[in-house]
């Protein structure tokens, strides 16, 4: 019922209760607090992952990319480049690109992303020379989130390799912290 480190506090709780120094409500709160502290220490990795910041799909709230996956892949074809702080990561490269139809996109790059890649890879009209691109969408709502990039000679199909990265459209994403501020109960969206 109790973890080993919590058992050392039980005699004190019982003594406090029998001496009627503290109310039974305080004792219950104390036991729960100690139990939570002990449990949190036993699961530091899970605790860290649960509270890591994410970029979310603006349409449905799906967790698309972690702050730790942000990378700067520079392109000479960018119309404009700037740096900003995103999810607490300073100097994140934001590049402005224009497609052949004249639409412009502010794009950030990540090493990993939880997205669905479309089947066809294109080598023409790429913003990153010597790389092919695929359209990527949100796996939940199918909103267009950007593109994945891979070498032209990529033989792994849609499977990621060490040379794969993602270009995410900045205004198709929302910061988790901002989304949490809009919700009464954080972390309940997109599950």
How far is the C-alpha of 49 from the C-alpha of 122, rounded, in Å? 34
Residue 28 has pLDDT above 70, yes or no: no
Of the candidates 127, 30, 36, 16, which has an alpha carbon nearest to the alpha carbon of residue 80?
A: 127
Better-predicted residue by pLDDT, 128 or 45:
128
Coil, strand, or helix at residue 168? strand
Residue 141 has pLDDT above 50, yes or no: yes
- Which range has highest mean pLDDT (129-133, 141-145, 178-182)? 141-145
CB 70 within 8 A of CB 86: yes
Residue 162 has pLDDT above 80, yes or no: yes
Question: CA 40 from chain center: how many Å?
Answer: 21
How far is the C-alpha of 61 from the C-alpha of 69, rounded, in Å? 18
Residue 25 has pLDDT above 60, yes or no: no
How far is the C-alpha of 99 from the C-alpha of 106, rounded, in Å? 11
Residue 46 has pLDDT above 50, yes or no: no
CA-CA distances (angstroms) from residue 10 to 5, 27, 43, 125?
A: 10, 10, 22, 68
pLDDT tens across 170-183, in order?
999 998 877 777 75
Report the pLDDT averaged over residues 125-142: 95
Average pLDDT, the chain: 79
CB 132 within 8 A of CB 126: yes
Residue 26 has pLDDT above 80, yes or no: no
Better-predicted residue by pLDDT, 13 or 96:
96
pLDDT at 118: 94
pLDDT at 66: 94
**Percentage of the chain modeled with pLDDT above 90:** 53
Q: 122: which DSSP letter?
A: B
pLDDT at 43: 45
HSE of 35 in the Cβ direction (CA atoms, 13 Å)? Answer: 11
Query: DSSP of 51-118, one letter per residue?
Result: H--EEEETTT--EEEEGGGEE----TT-SEEEEEEETTEEEEEEEEEE-TTS-EEEEEEES----EE-
pLDDT tens across 49-81, in order?
556 789 999 999 999 999 999 999 999 999 999
């Amino acid at each position: 019922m109790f973890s080993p480190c919590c058992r050392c506090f039980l005699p004190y709780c019982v003594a406090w209760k029998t001496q009627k120094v503290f109310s039974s409500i305080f004792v219950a709160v104390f036991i729960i607090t100690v139990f939570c502290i002990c449990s949190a220490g036993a699961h530091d990795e899970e605790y860290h992952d649960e509270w890591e910041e994410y970029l979310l799909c603006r349409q449905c709230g799906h967790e698309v990319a972690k702050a730790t996956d942000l990378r700067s892949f520079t392109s000479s074809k960018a119309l404009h480049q700037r740096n900003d702080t995103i999810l607490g990561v300073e100097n994140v490269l934001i590049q402005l690109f224009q497609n052949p139809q004249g639409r412009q996109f502010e794009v950030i790059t990540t090493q990993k992303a939880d997205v669905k890649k479309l089947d066809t890879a294109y080598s023409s009209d790429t913003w990153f020379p010597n790389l092919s691109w695929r359209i990527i969408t949100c796996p939940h709502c199918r909103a267009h989130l950007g593109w994945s990039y891979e070498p032209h000679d990529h033989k792994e199909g849609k499977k990621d390799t060490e040379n794969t990265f993602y270009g995410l459209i900045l205004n198709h994403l929302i910061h988790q912290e901002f989304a949490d501020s809009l919700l009464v109960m954080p972390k309940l969206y997109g599950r």
